[in-house]
Structure 1
Amino acid sequence: MKKNIFLAGIAGLILSGNLFAADLTGIWQQIDDKTGSPKALIQISKDSNGTFSGKITKITPRPGYTPRETCVNCPAPYTNKPILGLEVFKGLKLEGENSYDDGRILDPLSGKTYSLKGKLSQNGKRLHLRGYVGIAAIGRTQIWIRQE
């Protein structure tokens, strides 16, 4: 009996760790893939259809960069919307163990949108997001860091 309770407890810990690792919800620090500097804080939430979306909650000041206030070159419905509070990605869904796909991401500086896929680290603290056009091999990857 004690052995069964112990094994059930161990299984519960393993499962809860996997569930946490697959859950993207929370605040993430976006890191610029070109400079390595923090860019913004992104709030990721789970939508009613089971996909994930993210919006900008804070723009991180960087040396030599004056942040834009609105999304000037962005397509509708983002045109001239404030960047703070802007939904920068949506539709990202869990496809496998810690793997995500089928999302769309907006670059508010260029106004371009890209297909999006991601991979969450085993410990759930780093999110590798890849934006691309056509095939994923041609694109850019950013690493976002979960904020406690």
Structure 2
Amino acid sequence: MKKLGKKIYRNTRTVGEQVFRLCMIAMIVIYTIALNSNPAFAGGFGDSVFATGTKNLFKDIGTWLLILAPISGGVLGVYFFIRRQAADEMDQKKWNDRIKVTIISTLGAVLVSTAIVLIASYYGVTVNTEIK
């Protein structure tokens, strides 16, 4: 019984057997890939609802974020300055930190909106930031 097991599960000993085994594996892989390939065509994607919706989303987000981010940051900054003036020394440090966070967050929001406008320009969308 042990001899039969060793004979079936023995390692390849010659180079010819190893090359033959590699060729068989390669042929099976190539044959499997050739039979399982499904061609896909992406024609007309630019006119699809997904593409036009993404363009409009970039346009709307870029417009509103460029308008609202500085306004909301300025309003919060003024509020925090007023609260800092009414606070004692210990609380003034906290309000100073909040003012710094507000300024950094406002700059970050403006940079993100600028990046959105830049990405939208690659789609061919021009973002109009005028207030009508």
Same fold (TM over 0.5): no
TM-score between both structures, scaled by the size of structure 2: 0.26
Radius of gyration: which is bigger?
Answer: 2
Name the structure where strand makes up a greater proportion of residues.
Answer: 1
Name the structure where helix makes up a greater proportion of residues.
Answer: 2
TM-score between both structures, scaled by the size of structure 1: 0.23
| Structure with higher RCO (Cα < 8 A, 6+ apart) | 2
